[in-house]
Structure 1
Amino acid sequence: MTTGVKIATIGGGSSYTPELMEGFIKRYDELPIREIWLVDIEEGREKLEIVGKMAQRMWDATDYDVKIHLTLDRREALKDADFVTTQFRVGLLDARIKDERIPAYYGMLGQETNGAGGMFKAFRTVPVILDIVEDMKELCPDAWLVNFANPSGMVTEAVVRYGKWDKVIGLCNVPVMATMLEPGLIGKETDELIYKFAGLNHFHWHKVADAHGHDVTLDLIDKMYQEDNGLPKNIYDIPFERELLEQMKMIPCAYHRYYYQEEEMLHHALEEYQTVGTRAQQVKQTEHELFELYKNPELNYKPEQLQQRGGAYYSDAACETIASIYANKQTQIVVSTKNNGAVPDLPADCVVEVTAYVGGQGARNVAFGELPVAERGWLQVMKAMELLTIEAAVTGDYGTALQAFTLNPLVTSGATAKRVMDELFIAHKKYLPNFAETIQRLEKEGIQVQDEIARNLDAVKV
């Protein structure tokens, strides 16, 4: 009888993979891995081979006998897997550059998970994750799917709602960073505080209490205006209006800056678009530097430069979740999972991001209770937008996509929004088979991408 855990990672050629390996190595005593399969596509073959060799070096530097397998055959990797992790990016970073530059050309925010770009990332990603789920039903029906592919909340929602697969947990590093960095602001350790999160992925709030149950959220808010607030590297640091936080008595997710400080964040994003390039263009350079490091045959540990990539501490979410399920640890983790009443302002069957205890049966949510009136309004609008985006991704219906665009707070509704959406359809046509009829119609109408770099990405290296 075969012993040990088999893990399959879809998107194994990612620059994040060394962080994942580090997390698994750290937890080997409670998660005895036998083999790890790193899967990618033909366009990612070179990176897969580079990062795969480095991953094996990391394990070889330990006392653990773990074999890294590399493959472009997803089904081969999924066969009899115990856990499947997903960290893929449909269209690679060039697709993200288009997501960011095309809206920016028209004066709108383009971002990986927010606004027009975030919706198109969902349009590309949802059909792929549903294909993966269908393979899992056949090849590893008892496996857990642990998703880190963005937009993580929408991807997880699609798996539950359309894939009919409940053994799924969505993850994000943002709550991890909050619980690691905030306690020091008031002279505490993480295990001395009680955190409760509620909302959606990249759109949540949290409260904090001390070990005696006394709320210390306002104390933390006070310190946030005096100290380093520990923002993720990919988010520009525009301070929240202090009165806003004091009124809600909660701490917003760092990504809330795109909504609460939309004017300032948009100004900064457009300034970068016109000068140094969008965030994706900057990340592309960082990725190039990381893979040059990974080629070093002497490198057998995660390099410090990976912290600048924007997904710091991701292994602490992904690997701890897997270890907690495997060993039934009942660890408190912030996850995207089915609501089941934890956030009464949203339907019980939709996916939310909440604090939960994770064990052998998955996530047991911690009830948060009703949100204040303003936050409840925001949350319900954003969930409606997410559900429409996912429905459009599955059905390929243009009207549903336009409805999602119109509802999104970061998209200025009207003719320009429609133009941005149409250009994004043209730009991403290779990765949007469900919208084939729409794209064919738009091409006949002569719709073309106006931003020169986005238009030429497929033809030239930038």
Structure 2
Amino acid sequence: MSQKLKVVTIGGGSSYTPELLEGFIKRYHELPVTELWLVDVEDGKEKLGIIYDLCQRMIDKAGVPLKLYKTLDRREALKDANFVTTQLRVGQLKARELDERIPLSHGYLGQETNGAGGLFKGLRTIPVIFDIIKDVEELCPNAWVINFTNPAGMVTEAVYRHTNFKKFIGVCNIPVGMKMFIHDVLALNENDDLSIDLFGLNHMVFIKDVLVNGTSRFAELLDGVASGQLKASTVKNIFDLPFSEGLIRSLNMLPCSYLLYYFKQKEMLAIEMGEYYKGGARARSGRTKSGRRARSGRTKSGETTLRLVQKS
């Protein structure tokens, strides 16, 4: 590995950036990053400054020789980078609000990766990722691009299908979270060797086996979750709605919590619509960009729907 190790984070004003930096600090002996560049857009300038200041304090406290930079000029940052991470939201939270609320206004899930909102977000994001790839090919052709941007599966597949750039990896923290969950519910200690056998894509992951010190403990885990004796793995941004025992046992696998949007679509939709009626959204805004608000109505079949009405 060369003496200089430069990482560029596009979307550096994200609140996820300090967590990324924390990982670099804790594993500095394994991955001695010498430069970390935080890149954002003009609309994110203020937040970038806040995150930069926090990250600089983290570096100072840790005492690692890591130089931190911030810029709104992506091309300036990318020159001679070794790794590029992407964690961006095109259109920012205003766009996320529409991703969630427009589908709900027609009676469909608005979740930003699994539902129609995920398609909206993907269509906005992929062209921007392609532009980033072009800059990488020109300014740091040997760099690996690691994508955290959702919908990660859609974005990653688009790069592989429609560009010639192959050093691109899409990642998601759902498998990591599930592994941490298993570690806790099985009461393992730090010396135990835990590995999980899973498959799927991004927010559609299933666990099919769990090995602890080389021995499978999956049957114990599956039985505990199915019977309700062990709490299933969840994430904070999804409503805690348990899978049925029959589903878990028939699958003979443990699904990640995002699969609630498929296996319990009606229940999840009802919850999301309930939040919508109250003016809520995951983007934490009760109004659409146009300033309209939601009212409920019913179709001829009696199904509850939403309609957008002009603000009086």
Return the TM-score normalized by structure 1: 0.60
Post-superposition offset of 1:220: 1.2
Residues 193 and 208 of structure 1 are in contact (CA less than 8 Å); yes or no, is this contact kept in structure 2?
no
Assess if the C-alpha contact under 8 Å between 2:234 and 2:256 holds in 1.
Answer: no
The 10-residue stretch of structure 1 (105-114 or 7-16) with the greater mean CA deviation from structure 2: 105-114
Residue 98 of structure 2 is aligned to residue 263 of structure 1: no
Higher RCO (Cα < 8 Å, 6 or more apart): 1
CA–CA distance in structure 1, aligned partners of residues 160 and 51 of structure 2: 31
1:455 to 279, 282, 290: 290
**Residue ranges of structure 2 left out of the alignment (5+ in a row):** 293-312
Q: Secondary structure at the match of 1:270?
A: helix
The yes-or-no answer on 1:253 pairing with 2:256 is yes
Other structure's SS at 1:206 match: strand
User: Does residue 183 of structure 2 align to residue 180 of structure 1?
Assistant: no
Give the letter aligned to residue 182 of structure 2: E
**8 A contact 1:218–1:246 mirrored in 2:** no
Deviation at 1:206, TM superposition (A): 1.3
Distance 2:104 2:29 in 1: 48
What's 2:202 paired with?
201
* 1:80 equivalent in structure 2: 80
User: Which residue of structure 2 aligns with residue 241 of structure 1?
Assistant: 244
Contact 2:13/2:48 (<8 A) preserved? yes
Mapped to 2, the partners of 1:50 and 1:274 lie a distance apart of 34
Deviations 1:301-348 (A, max 9, x none): xxxxxxxxxxxxxxxxxxxxxxxxxxxxxxxxxxxxxxxxxxxxxxxx
SS at match of 1:133: helix
1:194 to 1:66, Cα distance in 2 relative to 1, 3 A: closer
Deviations 1:1-48 (A, max 9, x none): x82210000000111111111111001111111111100011001111
Report the CA distance between 1:119 and its aligned residue: 0.3
Give the secondary-structure state (helix, strand or coil) at the position aligned to 1:210: strand
> Pairwise CA RMSD of aligned residues?
1.9
% identical aligned pairs: 50
| Counterpart secondary structure, 1:9 | strand
- 1:169 positional shift: 1.4
Partners of 1:230 and 1:204 in 2: CA distance: 12
Indicate the structure with greater strand content.
2
- Alpha-carbon spacing, 1:276–1:192, altered in 2? closer, same or farther (3 Å): farther
Give the deviation of 1:227 after TM superposition: 3.2
Normalized per residue, which structure has more helix? 1
Q: Which amino acid counterpart does residue 31 of structure 2 have in structure 1?
A: L
What amino acid is the match of 1:16?
Answer: Y
Letter in 2 for 1:245: I
Amino acid at match of 2:258: Y
Deviation at 1:212, TM superposition (A): 6.7
In 1, distance between residues paired with 2:187 and 2:12? Answer: 39
Where do residues 291-302 of structure 1 align in structure 2 (5 Å cutoff)? none
Q: Which amino acid aligns with 2:179?
A: T
Change over 3 Å in CA distance of 1:33–1:192 after alignment to 2 = closer
Cα distance change of structure 1 residues 66 and 215 upon mapping to structure 2, 3 Å threshold: closer
**Partner Cα distance (1:277, 1:262) in 2:** 19
Name the CA distance, whole Å, in 1 between partners of 2:213 and 2:5.
39
8 Å contact from structure 1 (residues 103, 110) kept in 2: yes
- Please list, as runs of the form range in 1=range in 2, the aligned pairs for 1:390-405 lying within 5 A after superposition: none
- State the secondary structure of the residue aligned to 2:179: helix
* Structural mapping, 1:108-187, within 5 Å: 108-187=108-187
Which is further off, 224-233 or 174-183? Answer: 224-233
Given residue 6 of structure 2, which amino acid in structure 1 is its aligned partner? K
Q: Is the 8 A contact 2:121 2:151 kept in 1?
A: yes
Cα distance, 1:223 vs structure 2:
2.1
Task: Find the counterpart in structure 2 of residue 32 from structure 1.
Answer: 32
The whole-number CA distance in structure 2 between the counterparts of 1:228 and 1:196 is: 20
Q: CA deviation at 1:211?
A: 4.1
User: Which aligned pairs between 1:56-455 and structure 2 lie closer than 5 A?
Assistant: 56-189=56-189, 191-211=192-212, 215-224=216-225, 225-275=228-278, 277-281=280-284, 453-455=288-290
Task: Measure how far apart 1:170 and its partner are.
Answer: 1.1
Q: Matched residue pairs, number?
A: 288
Structure 2: how far apart are the matches of 1:268 and 1:217? 31
Tell me, what secondary structure is at the counterpart of 2:260? Answer: helix
Residue 229 of structure 1, CA deviation:
2.6
Structure 1 unaligned residues grouped into runs of 5+: 283-450, 458-462
Q: Any idea what the Cα deviations from partners look like across 1:207-244, whole Å, max 9, x if unmatched?
A: 22334755433321222222333411001111112111
State the secondary structure of the residue aligned to 2:240.
Answer: coil
CA distance in 2, matches of 1:187, 1:104: 40
| CA shift in 2, pair 1:102/1:216, >3 Å | same
Q: CA contact under 8 A between 1:102 and 1:454: conserved in structure 2?
A: no
Q: Distance in 1 between matches of 2:229 and 2:188?
A: 16
Q: Is the CA contact 2:193–2:214 (under 8 Å) kept in the aligned structure 1?
A: no
SS of 2:207 mapped into structure 1: strand
User: Cα deviation per residue 1:289-308 (whole Å; 9 max; x = unaligned)?
Assistant: xxxxxxxxxxxxxxxxxxxx
